[in-house]
Structure 1
Amino acid sequence: MRLSLILPLCLLLPGAALAREVAGTARVIDGDTLELRGQVVRLLDIDAPETGQDCHGAPCGTRATAYLKRLTGRRTVTCRGSEMDAYDRLLARCTVQGRDLGAEMVLAGHAVAFRRYGLTYVDQEKVARIEGRGLWARGTPVMPWDYRAGRWQQTAATAPRADCPIKGNINGKGQRIYHTPYSAHYERTRIDPSKGERWFCSEAEALAAGWRAPYR
């Protein structure tokens, strides 16, 4: 009897990791991010090229996004995870008809194993690299994390606010959208402070101020 009372209390302790599942048709944001039922999900242990990234002259970022759309289609996507990141995204493994989307993306060469956080898809990456699939077709590409860091450094030095290169734009519908230096529409986006637009130093700052990331 005592044990039956203790177990539920343990499950409610602050900081306890609670598994969460979300399922439905997905809206693909980019090669490693999608949205289901209003919840943005970041695929665990993979990193896909940014939408505006090229790999040896090929648009590997847009191809990664297109491939994830092909994998999901209008089929039911099931995502399971127990952690949220700093941007309120569920970190999860997602499947479609039993197929692991992370594994499929890496094996096809449209994403790489995110070794900084896990080694789950290292074997799939080896196969893609050896066979020259996707972003490996013309040799070793710039890794997505290096691409992001490089773009940040290039733009941070020339931003109106030192080291704050994120553009907080308000579109024609009044939606507040922020663009990082590696966003697809970063270069064409102009900031007009008189309209309430502004610059941010981090994505967390932009989110806290009520801006959201672009859908593509």
Structure 2
Amino acid sequence: MIKATALTLTLVLSPALAAAADITGRASVIDGDTIEINGVRIRFEGIDAPESRQICENAAGKAYRCGQASAKALEAFLAKSRPTTCTATGTSYDRIVGYCERADGADVNAWMVRNGYAIDWPKYSGGRYAPEQEEAQAARAGIWAGAFDPPCVMRGARCD
């Protein structure tokens, strides 16, 4: 507990140190693009997942809670290989931003996009996940099977 508290204090007091830290532990899913490890919230860099309250349409045009589906898929994916390690690259609001991997080395950010549970957000990724998004679109995986609004639109934010 002392280690987690010290890490939390270090991250809160020094964003520069946060950007250099690796955070490892059992991840709790907050939503499709945010997890918490040892009391530290981490937002996946370069991707954007449907909001928790977001409704999408499946291939048959039926409404479903795509934000909830995204979070559940992330939870199941992370549960297959623990712990999760995130490399912090910066901060955004009250969270660390970074790239995460499961214990087996699987890239969590890329998996979410490749399986249609999140989209590449070029504004922050520089197109890093564009190949995974093309793969998801071609396979009509996840949200690409039907219709959806970009998550940033749901938040009332600018998407560019």
Q: TM over 0.5: same fold?
A: yes
Is residue 26 from structure 1 mapped to residue 27 from structure 2 by the alignment? yes
Shift of 1:105: 0.4
**Quick check: 28-37 or 110-119, which moved more?**
110-119
Structure 1 match to 2:99: 93
Shift of 1:58: 2.1
Structure exhibiting the larger radius of gyration computed from Cα positions: 1
Structure 1 match to 2:76: 70
Amino acid across the alignment from 1:133:
A
Is residue 115 from structure 1 mapped to residue 122 from structure 2 by the alignment? yes
Choose between structure 1 and 2: higher helix proportion. 2
Is residue 133 from structure 1 mapped to residue 141 from structure 2 by the alignment? yes
TM-score (norm 2): 0.79
Moved over 3 A (4+): 14-18
Structure 1 match to 2:42: 41
Distance, in Å, in 1 between the alignment partners of 2:92 and 2:49 is: 17
CA contact (8 A) 2:16 2:90 kept: no
Distance, in Å, in 2 between the alignment partners of 1:19 and 1:29 is: 23
Shift of 1:16: 5.5
* Counterpart pick for 1:145 among 145, 152, 157: 152
Shift of 1:55: 1.0
Shift of 1:53: 0.5
94 and 15 in structure 1: CA distance in 2 versus 1, 3 angstrom threshold: closer
TM-score (norm 1): 0.59
Structure 2 match to 1:103: 110
Deviation per residue, 1:166-201 (Å, 9 max, x gap): xxxxxxxxxxxxxxxxxxxxxxxxxxxxxxxxxxxx
The SS at the match of 2:43 is strand
CA contact (8 A) 2:85 2:100 kept: yes
Give structure 2 stretches of 5+ with no counterpart: 1-13, 58-62
Structure 2 match to 1:61: 67
Distance, in Å, in 1 between the alignment partners of 2:106 and 2:28 is: 18
Distance, in Å, in 2 between the alignment partners of 1:69 and 1:36 is: 13
Distance, in Å, in 2 between the alignment partners of 1:143 and 1:52 is: 13
Give the share of equivalent positions with the same residue, in percent.
32
Give structure 1 stretches of 5+ with no counterpart: 1-13, 151-216
The SS at the match of 2:110 is helix
Q: Larger RCO: Structure 1 or Structure 2 (Cα < 8 Å, ≥ 6 residues apart)?
A: 2
- How many residue pairs get aligned? The number is 135
